[in-house]
């Protein structure tokens, strides 16, 4: 399908009292799943006035979830290292399996292979692990990163997996042998700020032809606060060389925390800042975005519905700016936290 980024419309917003970090739309478009800081699995039934239900799922933060290619299962993972598999659909979801300690530290990303037979995870322990999607059994451990591994993407060839770490090292793994075939350079996304390691490959995705790997994060920073320029590095898959450095046309300070590739030929990135969230639409090969869409709160995870007509964006923030800032800030005498939302956009 073709889309016109300027025609992107905010279709609806579902809200929750806690921050939302990731989201997925069911293939039939009936359900919107979300998760975040409360560790619960949230489900909104979109054709029933956005009826909200939530289910006990995890103990740590849930920053990552992915749908099986057939749409029947959802995989969620948390910052305490747990991965769970859930059925998609109505009723109370009963987890099909759980791996308690897929990683012993903060698990950053879970992704699923194009055929759906395997899932991969990565974490602060410098490891990438591959499990069977059916039973959650460990198939392979990929070692070689020397820093926290923040992002993952399967290649359509079924043999390759890519991973990106804090220092901007991208590794291309052979899944049949577990060997690292090559390293690609996205180190522009890392900065040593005084005594702190900043940035990293926060997100990655391939284009639909699997000719280009897009790595997102931020470049440069003037504080220990991820205050750099949102940046996507497009790596040519064949040569491994940098093809394009993609940044926003308009000034923005903050990281890109997720990217998706639209088959109509747009890379869509989600930005997070103090001033709110932004969706950027880039054409491949172009350094500056063609269009941007602003939102009241900072964005986190994205999901492009498989029909290409809807985009979900998890966000969190502070409506009205009354909850943030230094010192004691009470709302009606209560100490309340920030809230979450998922914005649903129609792409036309």
Binding site for other proteins (CB under 8 A): 18-19, 37-39, 59-61, 63, 79-80, 105-106, 124, 148, 193-198, 200, 223-227, 254-255, 272-274, 276, 297-298, 316-318, 323-329, 335-338
> Residue written as tokens 């284009």?
207
Query: Minimum distance between the CB of residue 317 and other proteins, rounded to whole angstroms?
Result: 4
Query: Minimum distance between the CB of residue 198 and other proteins, rounded to whole angstroms?
Result: 8
Q: Rounded distance, CA 51 to CA 28, Å?
A: 16
Nearer to other proteins (CB atom), residue 5 or residue 200: 200
Nearer to other proteins (CB atom), residue 206 or residue 252: 252
> Residue written as tokens 């990163």?
145
Query: Minimum distance between the CB of residue 112 and other proteins, rounded to whole angstroms?
Result: 22
Nearer to other proteins (CB atom), residue 19 or residue 84: 19
Query: Minimum distance between the CB of residue 343 and other proteins, rounded to whole angstroms?
Result: 14
Query: Minimum distance between the CB of residue 173 and other proteins, rounded to whole angstroms?
Result: 24
Burial 162-194, CB ≥16 within 10 A → b, else e: bbbbbbbbbbbbebeebebeeebebbbbbbebe
Query: Minimum distance between the CB of residue 94 and other proteins, rounded to whole angstroms?
Result: 22
Closest CA to 275 of 250, 291, 295: 295
Nearer to other proteins (CB atom), residue 97 or residue 106: 106
Nearer to other proteins (CB atom), residue 33 or residue 61: 61
Q: Rounded distance, CA 122 to CA 149, Å?
A: 6
Query: Minimum distance between the CB of residue 325 and other proteins, rounded to whole angstroms?
Result: 6
Burial 59-87, CB ≥16 within 10 A → b, else e: eebbbbbbbbbebebbbbbbbbbbbbbbe
What 216-221 contacts at long range (C-beta under 8 Å, 24+ apart), as own/partner pairs, is 216/189, 216/255, 216/256, 216/257, 216/258, 216/259, 216/269, 217/168, 217/186, 217/189, 217/255, 217/256, 218/189, 218/254, 218/255, 218/256, 219/188, 219/189, 219/191, 219/247, 220/191, 221/191, 221/193
Q: Which residues pair with 233 in a beta bridge?
A: 215, 245
Nearer to other proteins (CB atom), residue 125 or residue 236: 125
Query: Minimum distance between the CB of residue 329 and other proteins, rounded to whole angstroms?
Result: 8
End-to-end C-alpha distance for the chain, whole angstroms = 9
């Amino acid at each position: 399908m073709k889309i016109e980024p300027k025609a992107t419309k905010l279709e609806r917003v579902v809200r929750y009292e806690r921050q939302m970090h990731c989201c997925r739309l069911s293939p039939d478009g009936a359900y919107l799943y979300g998760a975040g800081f409360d560790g619960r699995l949230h489900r909104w039934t979109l054709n029933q006035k956005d009826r909200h239900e939530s289910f006990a799922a995890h103990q740590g933060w849930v920053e990552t979830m992915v749908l099986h290619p057939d749409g029947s299962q959802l995989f969620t993972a948390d910052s305490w290292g747990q991965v769970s598999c859930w059925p998609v659909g109505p009723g109370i979801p009963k987890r099909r399996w759980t791996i308690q300690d897929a990683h012993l530290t903060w698990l950053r990303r879970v992704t699923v292979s194009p055929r759906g037979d395997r899932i991969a995870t990565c974490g602060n322990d410098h490891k990438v692990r591959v499990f069977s999607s059916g039973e959650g059994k460990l198939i392979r451990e990929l070692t070689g990163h020397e820093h926290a591994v923040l992002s993952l993407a399967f290649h359509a060839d079924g043999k390759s997996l890519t991973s990106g770490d804090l220092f901007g090292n991208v590794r291309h793994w052979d899944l049949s042998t577990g060997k690292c075939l090559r390293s690609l350079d996205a180190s522009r996304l890392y900065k040593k700020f005084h005594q702190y390691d900043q940035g990293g490959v926060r997100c990655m995705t391939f284009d639909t032809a699997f000719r280009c790997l897009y790595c997102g994060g931020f470049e440069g920073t003037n504080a220990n606060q991820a205050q750099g320029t949102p940046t996507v590095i497009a790596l040519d898959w064949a040569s491994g060389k940098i093809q394009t450095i993609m940044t926003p046309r308009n000034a923005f300070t903050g990281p890109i925390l997720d990217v998706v590739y639209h088959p109509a030929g747009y890379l869509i990135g989600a930005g997070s800042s103090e001033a709110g969230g932004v969706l950027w639409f880039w054409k491949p090969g172009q350094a500056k975005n063609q269009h941007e869409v602003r939102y009241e709160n900072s964005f986190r995870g994205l999901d492009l519905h498989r029909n290409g007509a809807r985009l979900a964006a998890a966000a969190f923030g502070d409506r009205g700016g009354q909850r943030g800032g230094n010192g004691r800030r009470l709302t009606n005498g209560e100490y309340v936290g920030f809230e979450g939302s998922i914005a649903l956009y129609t792409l036309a």
